[in-house]
Structure 1
């Protein structure tokens, strides 16, 4: 049975790669399971309805809701300003802010798309104004958005654990380390490449100004920082 399922998945991947319309891709894969795997249509329908009642899937629309609330309420902007207060005066610091913010916001919403929709409209114009090439800023944020798929909680990991009957907690722990490592690598490469750009930097604050700025922005960013704890 596992061989038939792998064959159906392989056919699905190939047809999707060739650009076959979506209904035909899934229909072909199901027909393979029906004719080759001796799986009855009634059995597939009953299995599908049974899986739709799985409470694990409730996490997906709730993650979408959390991401929408975060984007529309200004929580993302508050988080971005808070991260920027630490490293905004360093050459290449705004790029580090982009990578870290995409990771945190992606973890809050469980999706990589939220990082683009929430951070992109805010940071890309700002990075361009500070001297970053627009294509560089766009590429950095687009690549950093994948961190939302790795750093838990993640919709992709929930779906993987549900389909493969794997522990959701184990899936989260398995991708946490690689996600943080990729975030660190993006930040390090950005700091190295930023030396080539003629950037406009913030003035280096005094110790008192630095502390006051972090305290003020930290109060506004506290709801965003609390959301991953609440979700987990």
Structure 2
């Protein structure tokens, strides 16, 4: 590896250690790499612009806005009530209701932190009132966050589809079964916890209560049907689906549920723009950095180095998953995806890994990173909402992390889990 490569790698770790924001670190190293290669620094601006010029990336602000509108418009609250009506009387029923609501919300927001924020703001206090420890309630709200990245639509799946030039619709489908398996595992944890802690179940809902919850929750349930049905029915693209989701959430919140008011829209738009700006800032700087390391042939050199150690596909899959889990725990997911895409695609091609399976594996590993200290965004969100320390939340997170790691293992070694549904698409 030449001097430029060493400077880029060591510089990245050094800047992160001293607390430099990831986007700033990547932007600075892009400039350093271009300067060391004796190229015109205007290339940096060109690469930054190129990193944001894909029309597919327009799906990101759409899904972010849809998530904001869904939370403010009362859709998430009604999903919680609907789930609680059907399973609240079971052992761990309220906890499982939280999982169910997080699964449905994830089918609209496409974001782990957004799912944690929407569900946690409703359920943490409610769970504590019903006998659950507050740390457990915060951990559960954190754990359901990754469902927003597994269950389609998913913002990271959109980004990986752009990077790897793969079908976003197929990538969406690849996350369905892993997401449902994770949700089922969380429900098992909920039952075990409730029985061990002696949490008293709610009374069984009456027929009247069920009808009322269905009547109120119907429009919220239809949101993922509209979005995903439109994509797979060929009515609109994933990018257009994001805008349809935002429009649908606004329409229902303003005119059906009427929990959303016109005066709230400017604040919601500002929040969505702020989140979008942060994500896009990371994407453009990471894109520039990825171009520099590609021009230095670092992905090829790293791939050859790894393949020089072993060519056993099973061991390489284990190594890739461990690498992704570590990167997800210490680095921003989007940056890591952009930077590592060349290496991961190269290794995947060498061992005959299906590109859709690889994409699902990458995104879901990084989804686990969203709930893993020290940089798990969902933990920060849950900590802010609950007032609990990250250490207290992390203690209760362990069984949920165990479920997620089991799902990661299944994705790696049972290809049908991610490829069966995309195969049905053709």
Shorter chain as denominator, the TM-score bin is: 0.7 to 0.9
Select between 51-60 and 101-110 the one with higher mean Cα deviation: 51-60
Provide the residue aligned with 2:189 in structure 1: 189
Question: Displacement, 1:214?
Answer: 2.5
Question: Displacement, 1:33?
Answer: 4.0
Q: 1:89 to 1:169 in 2, by over 3 A?
A: same
Provide the residue aligned with 2:174 in structure 1: 174
Which of these residues, 215, 219, 222, is aligned with residue 223 of structure 1? 219
User: What stretches of structure 1 move > 4 A for 4+ residues in a row?
Assistant: 10-13, 35-40
Gap runs ≥5 in structure 2: 229-426
Alignment of 1:62-73 (within 5 A): 62-73=62-73
Q: Deviations for 1:73-102, whole angstroms, at most 9, x for unmatched residues? A: 111111110111111111201111111211
**Contact preservation (8 Å) 1:120, 1:141:** yes
Question: Displacement, 1:117?
Answer: 1.7
Select between 136-145 and 23-32 the one with higher mean Cα deviation: 23-32
Q: 1:24 to 1:60 in 2, by over 3 A?
A: closer
Q: Deviations for 1:171-191, whole angstroms, at most 9, x for unmatched residues? A: 212222211111111111111
Mapped to 1, the partners of 2:15 and 2:215 lie a distance apart of 47
**Contact preservation (8 Å) 2:12, 2:26:** no
Secondary structure of 2:188 counterpart: helix
Q: Deviations for 1:45-68, whole angstroms, at most 9, x for unmatched residues? A: 223324433221111111111111
- Could you state the TM-score of these two structures normalised by the residue count of structure 1? 0.85
Provide the residue aligned with 1:120 in structure 2: 120
Mapped to 2, the partners of 1:16 and 1:86 lie a distance apart of 50
**Contact preservation (8 Å) 2:76, 2:118:** yes
Q: 1:16 to 1:194 in 2, by over 3 A?
A: farther
Q: 1:44 to 1:82 in 2, by over 3 A?
A: same
Count of matched residue pairs: 224
Provide the residue aligned with 1:47 in structure 2: 47
Secondary structure of 2:175 counterpart: helix
Select between 32-41 and 95-104 the one with higher mean Cα deviation: 32-41
Alignment of 1:37-186 (within 5 A): 40-186=40-186
Mapped to 2, the partners of 1:12 and 1:145 lie a distance apart of 32
Mapped to 2, the partners of 1:135 and 1:221 lie a distance apart of 28
Mapped to 2, the partners of 1:147 and 1:19 lie a distance apart of 32
Provide the residue aligned with 2:13 in structure 1: 14
Mapped to 1, the partners of 2:178 and 2:39 lie a distance apart of 38
Q: 1:16 to 1:91 in 2, by over 3 A?
A: farther
* Cα-Cα RMSD: 2.5
Higher relative contact order, structure no. (Cα contacts within 8 Å, ≥ 6 residues apart): 2
**Contact preservation (8 Å) 2:82, 2:214:** yes
Question: Displacement, 1:32?
Answer: 5.4
Q: 1:27 to 1:202 in 2, by over 3 A?
A: closer
**Contact preservation (8 Å) 1:157, 1:171:** yes
Mapped to 2, the partners of 1:213 and 1:100 lie a distance apart of 18
Gap runs ≥5 in structure 1: none
Provide the residue aligned with 1:200 in structure 2: 200
**Contact preservation (8 Å) 1:12, 1:28:** no
